[in-house]
Amino acid sequence: YNNIQTKETKDKNLLTPCPQTPPALNGTMRLLVPAQETLEEVAQQLSWLRFLEGGHQTPLDCQARYKIAIIVPYRNRLANLCSFLLNMHPFLTKQQLDYTIFIIEQFDDGLFNRAMLMNVGFTEALKLHDFDCFFFHDVDLIPENDRNIYSCPDQPRHMSVAIDKFNYRLPYVDLFGGVISMSRTHFQLVNGFSNMFWGWGGEDDDMASRVKAHDLNITRYHPDVARYHMLTHAQQKANPKRYEKLYSGRKRFKTDGLNNLEYRVKALKQLPLFTYLLVDLTSRR
Ligand code: UD2
Ligand code: MN
């Protein structure tokens, strides 16, 4: 029986590279609904998947081309989180990716700072693995088409082009919110997101400015493919200072971002469905 190889014992290094376009995609996604809105129940519904720890998966039959981190900013949206995990894991598995989902929860109850949580996620993820690229992903957006491939982008890519809530139309041409992907190198080049946007709005536009100021281009898939469903949630109050911060942002690209990030990690856990980070943004290390 010496020559018998089972999937389990196959040496990862002997696997052939995964195809550029994964097989068995059909251009649709059926929205899965959690039977109950608890993480235990979602893990139960996903028990057919073979998870490595911390929401990490690798394809079984081929060698993935790159390592991907999905960074999700989070606070107090459990229903959205359950749907997100239930739908994203099968979607990313089908695309034969080596990926890890990170949930970055803001611990303090000050104004939410989505952009800063992204910077924390990027920084902490790189302490754990050598990721090639990053998806900065709202918890309430679920892809509707499995051909919307989460591959590492050559140029920064705006993923959530056509959202049902916006009648599948891009609200404005420079929009860079919702779901974006960037290589590790490009995210470092632009010094990450600004840390100065507290409350709703502006941080995504500031990132678009950073990308352009560094001679990078925002790219997009075709709107027929880059389609998303937005889950329902309570609306945040807009930050009245967002325009002011946005217009003066350019002066701060070099000094406000990854290189002046301060936070305190309250918890770091490898849970079955995701790597969990609880962070205090308002107190210093
Ligand atoms: C838009 C953008 C979003 C961001 C935001 C302004 C799109 C499709 N979305 O989303 O990317 O730029 O405006 O800041 O362009 N969150 C929590 N708990 C909270 C608040 C926010 O978990 O209490 C997280 C969660 O991942 C959420 C994301 O932050 O999806 C964006 O916040 P939102 O959903 O309240 O904002 P929205 O839908 O206007
Ligand atoms: Mn939203």
Q: What is the ipTM of this complex?
A: 0.99
Which pLDDT does position 283 carry in this prediction? 74
Probe residue for ligand 1, chosen from 88, 109, 138 as the CB with the greatest number of ligand atoms within 8 Å: 138
pTM of the model: 0.95
Tell me what the mean pLDDT of segment 119-135 comes to. 98
Going by alpha carbons, the residue nearest to atom 7 of ligand 1 is: 178
Alpha carbon separation from 29 to 36, 54, 98, 145, 272 (Å, rounded):
20, 24, 20, 5, 23
Q: Which phi and psi angles does 211 have, rounded to 5°?
A: -60, -45
Alpha carbon separation from 141 to 34, 45, 84, 231 (Å, rounded):
15, 20, 7, 6
Residues near ligand 1 (Cβ within 6 A):
72-77, 112, 114, 138-140, 160, 163, 175, 177-178, 200-201, 203-204, 233, 236
Residue 9 has pLDDT above 70, yes or no: no
User: Ligand 1 center to residue 153 CA distance, Å?
Assistant: 23
Tell me what the mean pLDDT of segment 218-240 comes to. 95
Question: How confident is the prediction for the chain on average, in pLDDT?
Answer: 94
pLDDT grade for 154, boundaries at 50, 70 and 90 = very high
3-state SS class at 243: helix
164-216: per-residue pLDDT in tens? Answer: 999 999 999 999 999 999 999 999 999 999 999 999 999 999 999 999 999 99
pLDDT grade for 7, boundaries at 50, 70 and 90 = low
pLDDT grade for 14, boundaries at 50, 70 and 90 = confident
Q: Which residues surround ligand 2, an ion (CB under 5 A)?
A: 140
In the chain, pLDDT over 90 holds for what percent of residues?
A: 88
Alpha carbon separation from 109 to 38, 97, 113, 155 (Å, rounded):
22, 35, 11, 35
Counting ligands in written order, which one lies closest to the CA of residue 237? 1
Residue 1 has pLDDT above 80, yes or no: no
Tell me what the mean pLDDT of segment 260-275 comes to. 97
In sequence order, the 6+-apart residues with CB closer than 8 A to the CB of 2 are none
Tell me what the mean pLDDT of segment 86-94 comes to. 97
Rounded to whole angstroms, the Cα distance separating 110 from 23 reads: 45
**Location of structure tokens 């100021």:** 213
In sequence order, the 6+-apart residues with CB closer than 8 A to the CB of 49 are 57, 89, 90, 93
Rounded to whole angstroms, the Cα distance separating 276 from 104 reads: 6
36-69: per-residue pLDDT in tens? Answer: 999 999 999 999 998 788 999 999 999 999 999 9
Per the model's pLDDT, the better-predicted residue between 7 and 112 turns out to be 112
3-state SS class at 181: strand
